[in-house]
Each structure stands twice: as structure tokens, then as C-alpha cells.
Structure 1
Amino acid sequence: MMTDVLVAHSTDVEKANFYKKTYLHVALAILAFVRVETVLLNVVPPEVIGLMFAQKYTWLLVLGVFWLASFLASKWSMSQSKSTQYFGLGFYILLEAVIFLPLIYIAIANSDYNVIFQAATLTIAMFAGISAVAFTSKRDFSFLRNIITIGGFIAIGLIVAGMIFGFNLGLWFSVGMVILASATILYQTSKLKDTFATNQYVGASLQLFASIMLLFWYILRILMSRRS
């Protein structure tokens, strides 16, 4: 039966089931992303991929559509309908695969297969370590919310300004985004029990998956910049 009991107010068994289902769905989302990305790389012509980032305003449009669609996907994943939840998660996985297409294509074109594997390994290791801290620490990480919100708006502003005025944000921006993504994962993980009901593990997995992909994006960019 569907239940809307907050995880924090549920039994230990219900909490364990929620976390197990949430992280299982995170793992499945990552595997689905890899599969979809592979398909896109094989079917989308290089010319089309090039158009995604060839013009600054085109990439701004892509990002704008991505953020809007991400909001819709997140909303769908929080629905009481299981089919709608899974549609939201699946739609978001497709969005991530599309937004990653140019970056992965460039890495492959430069024969940097190893750098993709290294970035993925570092991302998973960092996610596991941050999650362990969130679950084992008795500290309240609520203070991170305002930092993440302000940092997110600043990051968006810098990204848009960089595209419009044509300046490179550089390595330190990517490092800052890795820190911001890590803080987001820490905050989200510590607040899962206070944010989601026991039947909303699909929405919880989407939230964590989104932060993992943000972390992966900037770790990959850092590693690629070191080889350029």
C-alpha cells in the first residue's frame, strides 16, 4: 500500500526499506544513464553534437530547457502515482544523457577513455564517503542549505555571464562546483528522512542522482583540463 508517512516518523524497518530502495534506484539510474549515453553517442551525428556548443546562445538555450525540464521531472517524481514517478526519473535520466553528450564526445574524440573512467570512479568514491559522513555524523547540516542556495545562484550567474561574454571560468570554478556538489549531497542525504515520505524513494533517488551527475560533470572537466 502507498503511504505518505515521513521517513523520520516511520519504523526502523520502513526506514531501512526506504533507504535500500532509494540507493537501488540511484544505482539503476546511473546504469541507465550509461546505457542511454552510449546509444546517443552511436546514433547522434557529430555535426548535431557540435551544434549544441558551437554557438554560445545555443548552449544557453539547451541549459534553459534542461533546467525547466528538470523542474518538471522532479515534480513528476514526487507524484503519488508510481508510473508518474518513474516517468519523471526516466525523463531526467534522458535529460542528463543529452546535456552530457558534448562533454563525453569531446573526451572520446581526444581518446580520453581513461579520464572518463577515472572521473566516474572518483565521483562514486566521493559520493560513498559523503553519504557515510551524513549517516554516521550526529551533526545537523541544515546550515548548508543557505550556502548551497546562494552558491547555486552565483554559479548560474557566472555560467551565463561566461557564455554571453565569452570568458573561461577556469579550473578554480570547477573546483568550487565540486565543493558545492559535495555539500549538496551531504545536505540532501542528511535531510532525506525529513523531506520524503516512505513511498517517495523514486523522488529521493532523482535528487541524489542529480547531485551525483553535477559532481561527475565537474570532476570530469577538471581531469580533462589537466590533460589538455
Structure 2
Amino acid sequence: MNQDNFPQYDQPFEALSTVTDDVRAAFYKKTYAHVAIAVLLFVVVEGLLLQIEPLVNFMFSLTQGWTWLIVLGIFMWATSYAEKMAHKSHDRNKQYLGLFLCVVSYAIIFIPLISIALQYQEVYAGQEDSNLLSQAGIVTISLFAALSAVVIVTKKDFSFLRSILAVGFIIALGLIIAGMIFGFDLGLFFSGAMVVLAAGSILYQTSNLVHEYHTDQYVGAAVGLFSSLMLLFWYILQIFMSRD
């Protein structure tokens, strides 16, 4: 059988915890470079989608009532599938396809929120709140960088957060569903709690980066970190938009 049919790698699949500091540093650089590429791709795709007015109107129509739960369900399935594709396959093409699917899924789900933020900026043009998106983005990236640095520098194992995060996300989903059923606004406190949950997710994903991954899994690691980053951005943006 022709070995050219198999994906080729620069080095064997070694646990990151067993390799030299130089190899580990190279892995970190590749991972965060792919996170940066995913963020830039998200910005490009989001900008293109927002130019499609029928799509924007359609996404807004889905935010009413139970249809948004269906959208969230499809989104959760798509991102979960993308993460599995990026993590479990040793085919580099499939890993990148998983990353692309994850970015597109987030770009679609963000359409209503980004549209409202842009309208908000137009209303407050010339005022401090006119830079709403850039302010939220800077805060998000700063927190993401700080949390990642804490784990990478200290090498502390945050794997214990897995069960806490699982329970937290289940509770959050339950509150979102209850809010839709009974028609109440979850408010600023919920957004703050979700920021804390997203921060915990970043610590957990970065801990996996340090302790769990193998040297060929930098694309998969980037997918997990990108998802946590976008969750953090979603709720920080909501907090910024709640300011009067």
C-alpha cells in the first residue's frame, strides 16, 4: 500500500508533557497562531454574512420563541461535531475542516448579536459607546491572554474544572430554556456568571494544552480555545451593551 495516501507529520505523536521545552514552545506557537487565524476568519465570515440582508432578517426571526432553542441545538451539535473532528482525526485536512466548521457556526450564531451591537454603535456615534465592539473585543482578548498565561507559566493542572464546567453549563442551559418558557430576562448577573464560566473553560482548555495534548493536535487545541474565547466574547459584549 502506498504510504503517500497517509497524512504526513513532522514528528511522531508524543505527549506534550514528555517533549523538550523547544518542542513544547513550538506547539504553543502553532496553537495560538491557529486561534488567531480562526478569530480573523470569524471576522471576515461575519462581515460577509452581515451583508446578506435576507439572512440577517431570517436569523432575527429565529430569535423569537422556541425556534431559537432549535438554532442553539443545531449550533451545539455543529460545534461539538467540529471539535470531535479536529481532536480525534489524525488527518490534517479533517482537522482544518473541523476548525472551519466551528468558525462558521459561531459566525452564524453571532449574526443577531453583532447586528444589534452595530445598531447600538450607530445610535451612540461619536460617544464612548460608539466603539462597543472593539472595546468588548479588547477586554475579551486581554482576559483570554491573561488566563492562558497563568496556566502556561505556572503549569497548574486545571483538569478538576471539567465536572464543575459540565454542571455549570447544564444549569446555564436550563436557565436559558426557563427564560424562554416564562419570558423573563436573565439579566446582567447571568452574563457575569457566564463570563466566569467562560474564564473557567479557558483555564481548562489551556490546562489540556499543557498536560493532555500530543504534538500533532495543535489544530484541535486551537478549536477548543477558540470556542471558549467566543463564549467569553458573547457575554462580555452583552455586558457592554447593557450599559446605559
> Is the pair's TM-score, using the shorter chain for normalization, greater than 0.5?
yes
By how many angstroms is 1:203 displaced? Answer: 0.5
Q: 2:235 aligns with which of 199, 212, 218?
A: 218
Query: Contact 2:202/2:228 (CA < 8 Å) preserved in 1?
Result: yes
Query: Contact 1:6/1:193 (CA < 8 Å) preserved in 2?
Result: no
Q: Which residue of 1 aligns with 2:28?
A: 19
Q: Which residue of 1 aligns with 2:108?
A: 98
Q: Which residue of 2 aligns with 1:8?
A: 17
Aligned 1:165-180 pairs, distance under 5 A = 165-180=182-197
Runs of 4+ in 1 over 6 A off after TM superposition: none
Q: 1:65 aligns with which of 74, 78, 84?
A: 74
Q: 1:87 aligns with which of 97, 117, 129?
A: 97
Query: Contact 1:178/1:215 (CA < 8 Å) preserved in 2?
Result: yes
Aligned residues: 226
Q: 1:138 to 1:193 in 2, by over 3 A?
A: closer
Q: Which residue of 1 aligns with 2:125?
A: none
Letter in 2 for 1:141: F
CA distance in 1, matches of 2:80, 2:160: 24
The one-character-per-residue Cα deviations of 1:88-107 (angstroms, maximum 9, x if unpaired) are 10011000000000000011
Point out where structure 1 has 5 or more consecutive residues left out of the alignment. Answer: none
Q: Which residue of 1 aligns with 2:3?
A: none
Letter in 2 for 1:172: F
Query: Contact 1:131/1:186 (CA < 8 Å) preserved in 2?
Result: yes
The one-character-per-residue Cα deviations of 1:105-126 (angstroms, maximum 9, x if unpaired) are 0111222651111100000010
Point out where structure 2 has 5 or more consecutive residues left out of the alignment. Answer: 1-7, 123-128
The one-character-per-residue Cα deviations of 1:14-36 (angstroms, maximum 9, x if unpaired) are 21111110000000000000000
CA distance in 1, matches of 2:220, 2:159: 20
What value does the CA root-mean-square deviation take over the aligned residues? Answer: 1.4
Q: 1:139 to 1:84 in 2, by over 3 A?
A: closer
Match of 1:73, SS? helix
Query: Contact 2:86/2:219 (CA < 8 Å) preserved in 1?
Result: yes
Q: Which residue of 2 aligns with 1:132?
A: 149
Q: Which moved more, 1:97-106 or 1:134-143?
A: 134-143
Q: 1:163 aligns with which of 180, 195, 214?
A: 180
Which protein is bigger by CA-based radius of gyration? 2
Letter in 1 for 2:119: A
